[in-house]
Amino acid sequence: MHELGVVFYVIDDVERVAKENDVEHIHSVTLEIGEVSSVIPEYLLDCWKWAIKKHDILIDCELKFEPIEAVTYCEDCQSNYSTVEFGKICPRCGSENTYLIKGNEFNIKEIEVY
């Protein structure tokens, strides 16, 4: 489960930002997670609940998610389509000359403080 490592990474970044801004407690953290990022939000949340108990600045901190739809671009017909629904093959022209343009991201979008 790589979600635990992801949580440690997020906590390290959030604590660094909090320290730089003299923040004593963080109310919530919002993450943007791409549909095909390989991060499973439910597992991430379980790891988060366990890990924040070990960091005073994060006690009772809520973890929020904003999904990013996976979109693929077809170079042959110059169209975008849903990656999750259709995969690598373009549903409009049948081409495999495609690439992912969004949906693999994992970003800390917002840190809310009291």
pLDDT at 21 over 80: yes
CATH code at position 19: 3.30.2320.50
| 90 known member of a binding site | yes
Q: What would the pLDDT profile of 23-64 be if each residue is shown by its tens digit?
A: 999 999 999 999 999 999 999 999 999 999 999 999 999 999
Write out the residue range of the structural domain in which residue 9 sits: 3-69+103-113
pTM of the model: 0.88
If one counts the domains in the chain, the total is 1
The upper half-sphere exposure of residue 104, i.e. CA atoms within 13 Å in the direction of its Cβ, equals: 5
Residue 74 annotated as binding? yes
**Residue range 73-113, pLDDT digits in tens:** 999 999 999 999 999 999 999 999 999 999 999 999 999 99
Q: Is 55 annotated as a binding residue?
A: no
Is 25 annotated to bind a ligand? Reply is no
Q: Is 2 annotated as ligand-binding?
A: yes
**What are the Cα distances from residue 29, in Å, to 7, 15, 43, 48, 91?**
11, 11, 16, 11, 37
